[in-house]
Chain A
Amino acid sequence: MIRDMKNYDYNLDNHQLGYHSWPKLYHDELLLLIDRLNAYDTLRMKLMKKGGSFPEMEELANILRMEIPIKADHLPECSLMNQKALKRVLSYYENGTLTLDVRQQDYGFPVYYLCKVQDDYHCTYNSVLQDFYVSPGYTFHDNRLIKLMDYGHQMIYLRLSPFREKLIHVEKAEINANIDKELSRIGSQVLQYAWHEDQNIGIFCSDKFGLPDFRCAIELVYLCLTADLCDLRSNIDRLFLTFFSQVYEQPAIHGFLTSIQNSNDLPILELQDKAKHNYTHLLKAFNKLLACSVCWGNSNQKIPLYKLVFANMFRLDMIWEDIKDNAAIKQAACNLEETALTCIHEINTMNK
């Protein structure tokens, strides 16, 4: 059988010390797992949305208990219920780059996220490069960053997978063979510095309150302040610019990369001073927005917006509908967008 031939691979990639054989899983084996996940989620969603019978509920439990027929020597028997064995089996897929994240949903049902990750030991965050399976109901609070278990700790990963298909599409399949490498290069050179977990209050607000320039400015300021700009400049190429203009549309970072690429004499210190200065301005403008008072609740009590934001962090759209017409908030949001635009302009024109 072809699978038997494939299952043993004399792998020298990660084991430079000598020949080392281990079972190696390929996409065919992965499909067995994905089929099982699909079967489970189809039945689960049916029970959630349309109801069903008790035997169907038991059938759902059976799907979790049933062995997944991934066969190779040295591999343990695995099922969706036995996460430990399943994770061990998945560690044999392409040099151990697969991660299965399990979360408990309402009524104790598990939901799954299967993805390919890339470790970068020199960076703060590792990256997710490809999504293989996402259960319905598995939520990403922040589309850019995700917490996944890594060596016993919940580590934060950059989520680059949503850009994968679009990047292949834009680059017209030329990049297909190198897509992992190129995605992780963009991740480690730019997004590693532009994205940060502490930005999430600002990012949630900008997404839900319609403040696109604020979002661009936050990411630009972080990039300026955290990245090694000399190193970054030497790595900018056409792909970087395409990515930020067509795949992850971020005009501020695109403008910044273009400007430093064309700059002969990069004023790093001045640039970082300017970014720090603008960071303070952005923070103040954002604070002013959050400090606005709104009449809220049945008693129409006046409370500051920050309380509503912090109390409804993951459902901001539900409060925005009721406050979007507030004059003070409108004014503060306008000021914030203006400050963000000024910030982007000041940083991106420094090199010209």
Chain B
Amino acid sequence: MIRCFKAIVYISNCITMKPSRYVSDIPSSDGYFRSWHRKNKTDWAGIGIADAYKPNLEYQIRIPAQQKLLAMLKKIRSTISGITGVIRSNDSGFVKMQIGPFYSNYPAVAAAHAALGLTSILEYRQQVPDMILTKYITRIRELVLLDKSPNVQDAAMENVIQQVTNAVQARLILEELSRNNIHSAEIYRLFAASQNSLQFCFLNDIVHTVIVYGNILPSLARVDLHPTTKAIFRALMPISAYYNRKLERTGLTGFIELGIHWASETCLALQDFLTATGVSQDYTLDQLLDHIPPLDSKQPPTLMNQDDVATFISRNLSKAKLQGIAPTNPSAEGKTMQERITKLAATFNEASGQQSKSEDMRTDLVEKALRSSAFQQGPMEGTPASGHEVSVDLGGDKLLTGEIHDRPLELSDDLSKLDMLMSEARPLIQDIKKVLYPNIITVTEKQKLCTSGSLDVSRLAMASFSSAIFKRYPTRSVTDRGGRPVLLIACDASGSLNAKQIRLLKILTLAWIGSTTKTEIKLISGIYHSGMVRQGLDTPLVQWIYHPKKTPALDPRDASRAIISLPDSGTGAQHDSLSISYMVEEAASIAKGRMIYLILLSDCQWNQSFKTEKNGQQEVDAMFTYLNEKYANTLHTTLIGLGVQVKQPVFDKINKVILISQQEIDSTTTVAKRINLYVANSIRERRLSK
């Protein structure tokens, strides 16, 4: 335990190499020079895992912190594999990093460990399904039914069995992980306990408090509780104390048996509180409408885990024997009442909920979600996605605005798979390397001044001492082979692409990325489709394979590992014009006026992104018109149609199109031929353009 504590305290002080930062000296008011970027803690304390998701820090700090966090996660995964004996051939199928704690108000260092802890708990549960108590719920149910009071409703008891089993299971997993030196799990227990509001509105809260974190919360004598809540605590405490002592002496093999008895005894102890006693007083609907008890008043716990107004009112309504209000047999009046309650709750939830999809999930909502499902999958997992607003002119009256999220793709460690794919891409890399990507630069040329009319009188005065009068210096754009253009590879990875198309997409992306090694070309590469950004939010999504400011890969070659992380067939629904516009905007922010070469890999089944009269194809057509105007002379687009045979009107807006039909997709030689042709064509064009 002490080691665990030291880990928390010292982890933020681990010193890592600071990345070089842009420093621009500006004079301060009194002559001292200072940097634009003022110092912060990481300058003297180094970068630790606590800095992984701090939005106030720059990406140069967050990315190394995320890499450290990922390295720790990998160690934990391998420890869990050691415990469970499950060996994975590749790194797919692991539970995603649970990053919810980072977005809470909890101190960042401990939150980082809590995030690792929750991930390890879920990973363990996934790897050893046989060790999970919920698999033995039938036995628990049998034991409970033996002694169940007839007054207790079956549905209520079933609910209790589920809640108790989950709590005991969490306790057993925490014990097992702690015994194997995965201390982050214990930190997560502390984090979960800190999120407990001590209000005990739900039976689930009480059960978890007693079984999982009963020994670390404040004395309940200091908390103002409802008499029923107090009675439940009194009934459950001795059982938990007994089994906690027993657990310390029990080996891993005895956990399940112990858990079954612990859960069943706890359920039986709770049955006295589940007996339907009814309310002696009869209310009419009007009477009840006139009296709602104070919302802050201490209420007995409920089985339901909802705390909205509708639940509160319904709970108080159900106490009364009201004619017609019962959900099973509602009268017209009762129905109206229920509608009013639902409308009320919806208003409060809308006014207090998350309104903009593109914003980060709010801290209070993250905490609420973590509180309600402490040992379950959290509201945010994997790599966090940032929301962005994109404006596109599709030829209407005004700019259209859409919301899109982006995040980096996780890097795979499955090097054998990468080697296999690379061997298929290698011939193409050799070909594509020959393509020239000239940049556009503006040069000032000296020309002899030959006026067609009278001389510029303003220059005549200088004639005696300056030769400038006989020269002029026009500027013009020329191609520059030594420049640093930006190569943007945008891949459609939506569900409309089948396994063959995705395989070819991976090979071609790998080939284009490979062709940029040892060159001055700046690469940005990503896939676009739609996906789950956080619980309940499925939006258009760009996942970066390589982005100099957003991905953890060291260089484009390292970024090839991200391609292996892609599933074998496409997922989600793409929003073409929104996603491509966003990716081009990102490329433009890196290019800063230099040339952008867009390589677009798609099956050309364009989807609609905006609520306009245009269909998907018309939208993409209008978008390319807009982009070509906006980035005049600095955007060159190549489209690779995967499984496309028929020419579309949009192809006229695209500089180069390579079509690979469905029949040709399997044939590597045909694809190579097409690429060869494209390369030869490009070389010819770009040489001529010089």
Give the residue name and chain of the B residue nearest to A58 (CB): B344
- Stretch of A4-12, A118-126, A176-184, A238-246 contacting B (4+ beta carbons < 8 Å): A118-126
Looking at the assembled complex, report how far the CB atom of B250 sits from the nearest CB atom of chain A, in whole angstroms: 17
Q: Give Cα distance in the complex from A51 to B232, angstroms.
A: 26
Q: Give Cα distance in the complex from A58 to B313, angstroms.
A: 12
Give the residue name and chain of the B residue nearest to A81 (CB): B351
Q: Give Cα distance in the complex from A258 to B283, angstroms.
A: 72
Q: A303-B215, A321-B222 are in contact. Are A54 and B56 (CB under 8 A)?
A: no
Among A61, A290, A321, residue most surrounded by chain B Cβ atoms (within 10 Å):
A61
Residues of A within 8 A of B340 (CB): 54, 58
Report if B293 contacts A (CB, 8 A). Answer: yes
Q: Give Cα distance in the complex from A80 to B353, angstroms.
A: 12
The reply to whether B107 and A103 form a contact with Cβ atoms under 8 Å apart is no
Give the residue name and chain of the B residue nearest to A137 (CB): B296
Residues of B within 8 A of A287 (CB): 5-6, 9
Q: Give Cα distance in the complex from A193 to B297, angstroms.
A: 43
Residues of A within 8 A of B290 (CB): 53-54
Report if A153 contacts B (CB, 8 A). Answer: yes
Residues of B within 8 A of A110 (CB): 348, 351-352
Interface range for A? 35 or more
The reply to whether A201 and B294 form a contact with Cβ atoms under 8 Å apart is no
The reply to whether B216 and A311 form a contact with Cβ atoms under 8 Å apart is yes
Report if A324 contacts B (CB, 8 A). Answer: no
The reply to whether B9 and A283 form a contact with Cβ atoms under 8 Å apart is yes
Looking at the assembled complex, report how far the CB atom of A240 sits from the nearest CB atom of chain B, in whole angstroms: 15
The reply to whether B218 and A108 form a contact with Cβ atoms under 8 Å apart is no
Partner of B28 from the list A156, A231, A319 (CB cut-off 8 Å) is A231
The reply to whether B38 and A124 form a contact with Cβ atoms under 8 Å apart is yes
Partner of A313 from the list B106, B217, B288 (CB cut-off 8 Å) is B106
> Interface 1/0s, chain B 354-383, versus A by CB < 8 A?
011011101111001000000000000000
> Interface 1/0s, chain A 193-219, versus B by CB < 8 A?
100111011000000000000000000
Q: Give Cα distance in the complex from A314 to B198, angstroms.
A: 12
The reply to whether A310 and B110 form a contact with Cβ atoms under 8 Å apart is yes
Task: Give how many A-B residue pairs fall within 8 Å (CB-CB).
Answer: 230
Q: A57-B292, A81-B351, A297-B215 are in contact. Are A192 and B38 (CB under 8 A)?
A: yes
The reply to whether B356 and A81 form a contact with Cβ atoms under 8 Å apart is no
Q: A107-B309, A108-B349, A234-B28 are in contact. Are A227 and B387 (CB under 8 A)?
A: no
Q: A198-B12, A304-B2 are in contact. Are A156 and B56 (CB under 8 A)?
A: yes
> Interface 1/0s, chain A 102-136, versus B by CB < 8 A?
11111111110000000000111100000000000
The reply to whether B50 and A308 form a contact with Cβ atoms under 8 Å apart is no
The reply to whether A153 and B55 form a contact with Cβ atoms under 8 Å apart is yes
Report if B146 contacts A (CB, 8 A). Answer: no
The reply to whether A222 and B313 form a contact with Cβ atoms under 8 Å apart is no
Report if B155 contacts A (CB, 8 A). Answer: no
Partner of A307 from the list B44, B190, B291, B307 (CB cut-off 8 Å) is B190
Residues of B within 8 A of A103 (CB): 352, 362, 364
Q: Give Cα distance in the complex from A156 to B237, angstroms.
A: 41
The reply to whether A152 and B345 form a contact with Cβ atoms under 8 Å apart is no
**Which chain B residues numbered 48 to 63 have a C-beta less than 8 Å away from chain A?**
50, 54-57
Give the residue name and chain of the A residue nearest to B238 (CB): A298
Total interface residues on B, using CB and 8 Å? 94
Report if A64 contacts B (CB, 8 A). Answer: yes
Partner of B347 from the list A64, A222, A283, A318 (CB cut-off 8 Å) is A64
The reply to whether A107 and B5 form a contact with Cβ atoms under 8 Å apart is no
Q: A296-B216, A318-B218 are in contact. Are A51 and B193 (CB under 8 A)?
A: no
Residues of B within 8 A of A222 (CB): 41
Residues of B within 8 A of A301 (CB): 215
Q: Give Cα distance in the complex from A298 to B290, angstroms.
A: 43
The reply to whether A155 and B295 form a contact with Cβ atoms under 8 Å apart is no
- Stretch of B29-37, B84-92, B410-418, B644-652 contacting A (4+ beta carbons < 8 Å): B29-37
Looking at the assembled complex, report how far the CB atom of B350 sits from the nearest CB atom of chain A, in whole angstroms: 6
Residues of A within 8 A of B2 (CB): 291, 304
Q: A192-B38, A226-B39 are in contact. Are A83 and B355 (CB under 8 A)?
A: yes
Residues of B within 8 A of A319 (CB): 218
- Stretch of A16-24, A42-50, A159-167, A335-343 contacting B (4+ beta carbons < 8 Å): A42-50
Q: A197-B108, A296-B215, A296-B216 are in contact. Are A226 and B44 (CB under 8 A)?
A: yes
Report if A52 contacts B (CB, 8 A). Answer: yes
Q: Give Cα distance in the complex from A225 to B214, angstroms.
A: 41
Q: Give Cα distance in the complex from A306 to B216, angstroms.
A: 10
Q: A51-B293, A109-B348 are in contact. Are A123 and B309 (CB under 8 A)?
A: no
Residues of B within 8 A of A307 (CB): 1, 190, 216
**Which chain A residues numbered 281 to 304 have a C-beta less than 8 Å away from chain B?**
283, 287, 290-291, 296-299, 301, 303-304
Q: A61-B344, A299-B215 are in contact. Are A153 and B295 (CB under 8 A)?
A: no
Residues of B within 8 A of A152 (CB): 356, 358-360, 386-388
Q: Give Cα distance in the complex from A181 to B50, angstroms.
A: 33
The reply to whether B103 and A225 form a contact with Cβ atoms under 8 Å apart is no
Q: Give Cα distance in the complex from A310 to B213, angstroms.
A: 12
**Which chain B residues numbered 150 to 195 have a C-beta less than 8 Å away from chain A?**
187, 189-191, 193-194
Among B37, B103, B364, residue most surrounded by chain A Cβ atoms (within 10 Å):
B364
Give the residue name and chain of the B residue nearest to A83 (CB): B355
Residues of A within 8 A of B109 (CB): 198, 201
Partner of B292 from the list A47, A291, A310 (CB cut-off 8 Å) is A47
Residues of A within 8 A of B364 (CB): 103-104
Q: Give Cα distance in the complex from A84 to B36, angstroms.
A: 33
Q: A228-B34, A306-B5, A307-B190 are in contact. Are A147 and B105 (CB under 8 A)?
A: yes
The reply to whether B307 and A106 form a contact with Cβ atoms under 8 Å apart is yes
The reply to whether A310 and B32 form a contact with Cβ atoms under 8 Å apart is no
The reply to whether B108 and A124 form a contact with Cβ atoms under 8 Å apart is no
Q: A53-B289, A276-B44 are in contact. Are A198 and B359 (CB under 8 A)?
A: no
The reply to whether B44 and A225 form a contact with Cβ atoms under 8 Å apart is yes
Residues of B within 8 A of A64 (CB): 347-348, 351
Looking at the assembled complex, report how far the CB atom of B206 sits from the nearest CB atom of chain A, in whole angstroms: 15
The reply to whether A57 and B107 form a contact with Cβ atoms under 8 Å apart is no
The reply to whether A108 and B294 form a contact with Cβ atoms under 8 Å apart is no
Q: A61-B348, A83-B355 are in contact. Are A314 and B105 (CB under 8 A)?
A: yes
Looking at the assembled complex, report how far the CB atom of B383 sits from the nearest CB atom of chain A, in whole angstroms: 15
Report if A334 contacts B (CB, 8 A). Answer: no
Looking at the assembled complex, report how far the CB atom of B50 sits from the nearest CB atom of chain A, in whole angstroms: 7
Residues of A within 8 A of B32 (CB): 228, 230-231, 234
Q: Give Cα distance in the complex from A111 to B9, angstroms.
A: 34
Report if B253 contacts A (CB, 8 A). Answer: no
Residues of A within 8 A of B356 (CB): 84, 152
Residues of A within 8 A of B289 (CB): 53-55
The reply to whether B194 and A313 form a contact with Cβ atoms under 8 Å apart is yes
The reply to whether A155 and B108 form a contact with Cβ atoms under 8 Å apart is no
Q: Give Cα distance in the complex from A234 to B288, angstroms.
A: 69
Residues of B within 8 A of A61 (CB): 343-344, 347-348
Q: Which 3 A-B pairs have the closest CB atoms?
A: A110-B352, A311-B193, A318-B218
12 A–B pairs (Cβ distance < 8 Å), ordered by A: A58-B340, A61-B343, A102-B352, A103-B362, A110-B352, A152-B358, A198-B50, A226-B39, A226-B41, A231-B28, A306-B5, A311-B190
Query: Beyond the given A147-B363, A156-B56, A222-B41, could you list 17 further A-B residue pairs with CB under 8 A, ordered by the A residue number?
Result: A47-B294, A53-B289, A56-B292, A80-B351, A105-B352, A106-B199, A106-B307, A122-B38, A152-B386, A152-B388, A192-B38, A272-B44, A287-B6, A296-B215, A304-B1, A312-B193, A314-B105
- Which A positions have Cβ atoms within 8 angstroms of B? 47-58, 61, 64-65, 80-81, 83-84, 102-111, 122-125, 141, 147, 149, 152-156, 192-193, 196-198, 200-201, 222, 225-228, 230-231, 234, 272, 276, 283, 287, 290-291, 296-299, 301, 303-304, 306-308, 310-315, 318-319, 321-322
- Which B positions have Cβ atoms within 8 angstroms of A? 1-2, 5-6, 8-9, 12-13, 28-30, 32, 34-41, 43-44, 50, 54-57, 103, 105-110, 187, 189-191, 193-194, 198-199, 213-219, 222-223, 237, 241, 244-245, 288-297, 307-309, 312-313, 340, 343-345, 347-353, 355-356, 358-360, 362-365, 368, 386-388
